[in-house]
Structure 1
Amino acid sequence: MTAVVEPNPFARQLRHWRTQRHVSQLDLAIRADTSQRYLSFLEQGRSRPGRTMVVRLAESLELSLRERNALLLAAGYAPIFPESDLDTPELGPIRTALERILDGHLPYPAVVTRPYGRLVAANAAIDILTEGSSAELISPPINVLRLALHPDGLARRVRNLPEWGRHVTESLRGKALRCPDTRLDEFIAELESYLPEANLGPDHLGFAVPLRLSSPDGELRLITTITGFATAVDITLSELHLEAFLPADDRTAEILRRRAERRRNPSD
């Protein structure tokens, strides 16, 4: 009688991530430069991978640094990617570089965030996103996603909230599909509870929704770019995102330029 081998934690995680990424055993074996037979043995718990193989599989599955550490631990190896505090002296040059990037984006707003929308840093132009918001939402620690969609935050000034708000939440849902996370699912549900019903027609382009924002100087039309730190080898840095807002028209650019001048010369 053949003994049944119970999958070990590594085998379960490997199969989970391969299934989640919709990758066949053969495709993953090719990516990781191994055989399908060996990969099958790994998923059944019949073989124990070497440390290098675990790293190759994690890279082939495009796991985050945090997830790669977890896969190493499941295989019985120590994590290889550190997780530093942003306030440590070692990351001083990174903080300085981020501040220069933020200042260089002026007069347009830009923010640096951690997972779940936690604000790390912002430039002076963030005032266009915070003005008129409740004190609770703009008191540290600030969550920029909650600030954006909460009825007491930016949302009260967003003229296309049903469309733009769902652009934000659908982006988060895409991340949740790639990397299942109960906490993220709960956060998405919270954000969606703030949004009004949307009657999106057949011409709606969810991936191309500018932010239409009311301001004392007139309506602003903003588009965003999101940059990640893909080559970081520290978990903290790898999870940072720089979101930069850009004017979608000349009028918006001029309004933001005038606002910057008023910040520099408040008495004028």
Structure 2
Amino acid sequence: MGALLREWRERRRLSQLQLSLDADISARHLSFVETGRSKPTREMILRLSEQLDVPLRERNGLLLAGGYAPVYPASSLDAPELDAVRTALRQVLVGHEPYPALVVDRTWHLVDGNEAVQLLLDGASPDLLAPPVNVLRLSLHPEGIAPNIANLGEWRAHVLSRLQRQAAATADPALRELHAELRDYPCDQPEPEVELPGAGDVVVPLRFRRGGAVLSFFSTTTVFGTPLDVTVAELAIESFFPADQATADLLRARAADRS
């Protein structure tokens, strides 16, 4: 447990002194915990995990390594105790229409999406749309929606940078493997090493070809604020908003035609 704790502290770039101050324990005691000279209590492991912002799944791992049972459940998303969570997710997705929104898990597999998401999926290979759908693989794969992304180089650089940061923050090997896979996909556009705004840009846009038009979106990410279940903690809602008036008008017109 001490070695794992030290890895998380070093990953967060904290000294023993800083972590001990944050957690209100002595630096000497923290040193003894990390070297195995002192066995921490369950409460101490949870306190240090909280200060290090360790994900709930990995907090359970630290507890197991320390000789304690996990405290955070990992419920199936269709379990009765998550009825309120599923209802809330569906309300957010439906309420976001006519703009696309989707729910993903920790490794970017599609959990749910609203009707407007279909707008982005036209032309993708059926193999990539077969469950479980990984939305990052779908977005960058040459047989996915990558051919429809007008600014593929810019968007690809953004996605890979974000995924790399997420993998580093969570120490999740599945995310590292996904990053390595996506990095090997071909791209015929230059990829900026640093995200620099273009004229009028305030966020990295997704510019998507649809028929003869180019739709422009920006996205936001929503997570549960106080999760105590591993499954809930690893869910995120990706909501796409129109980045210009033409995109907003087209999406509203599309929704009106369906009604």
Whether the aligned pair in 1 keeps the contact of 2:157 and 2:191 (CA below 8 Å) is: no
Structure 2 CA distance for aligned equivalents of residues 243 and 97 of structure 1: 14
Whether the aligned pair in 2 keeps the contact of 1:150 and 1:194 (CA below 8 Å) is: yes
Q: Deviations over 1:118-157 (max 9, x none)?
A: 0000000011111111111122221111111111111110
| Partner of residue 162 from structure 1, selected from 153, 160, 165 | 153
| Partner of residue 106 from structure 1, selected from 57, 77, 97 | 97
Q: Match of 1:246, as an amino acid?
A: F
Offset of 1:176 from its aligned partner?
1.6
Unaligned runs of 5+ in 1: 1-9
Structure 2 CA distance for aligned equivalents of residues 181 and 16 of structure 1: 13
1:50 maps to 2:41: yes
The answer for the alignment partner of 2:196 in structure 1 is: 204
1:187 maps to 2:182: no
Unaligned runs of 5+ in 2: none
CA change 1:102–1:48 in 2 (3 A) is same
Q: Deviations over 1:18-55 (max 9, x none)?
A: 11111000110011110001101111111111111111
The answer for the alignment partner of 1:27 in structure 2 is: 18
Say what the alpha-carbon RMSD is for the aligned residues. 1.7
1:67 maps to 2:62: no
Report the 3-state secondary structure (helix = DSSP H, G, I; strand = E; otherwise coil) of the residue aligned with 1:213. strand
CA change 1:203–1:11 in 2 (3 A) is closer
Question: Aligned residue pairs: how many?
Answer: 255
Task: Compare CA radii of gyration and give the structure with the larger one.
Answer: 1
Whether the aligned pair in 1 keeps the contact of 2:221 and 2:238 (CA below 8 Å) is: yes
Whether the aligned pair in 2 keeps the contact of 1:212 and 1:221 (CA below 8 Å) is: yes
Whether the aligned pair in 2 keeps the contact of 1:110 and 1:243 (CA below 8 Å) is: yes
| Partner of residue 239 from structure 1, selected from 204, 215, 234 | 234
The answer for the alignment partner of 1:171 in structure 2 is: 162
1:124 maps to 2:115: yes
Q: What TM-score do you get using the length of structure 1 for normalisation?
A: 0.91
Offset of 1:208 from its aligned partner?
3.0
Of 237-246 and 36-45, deviating more is 36-45
Q: What TM-score do you get using the length of structure 2 for normalisation?
A: 0.94
Structure 2 CA distance for aligned equivalents of residues 13 and 238 of structure 1: 21
The answer for the alignment partner of 1:226 in structure 2 is: 221
Whether the aligned pair in 2 keeps the contact of 1:217 and 1:255 (CA below 8 Å) is: no
Whether the aligned pair in 2 keeps the contact of 1:110 and 1:122 (CA below 8 Å) is: yes
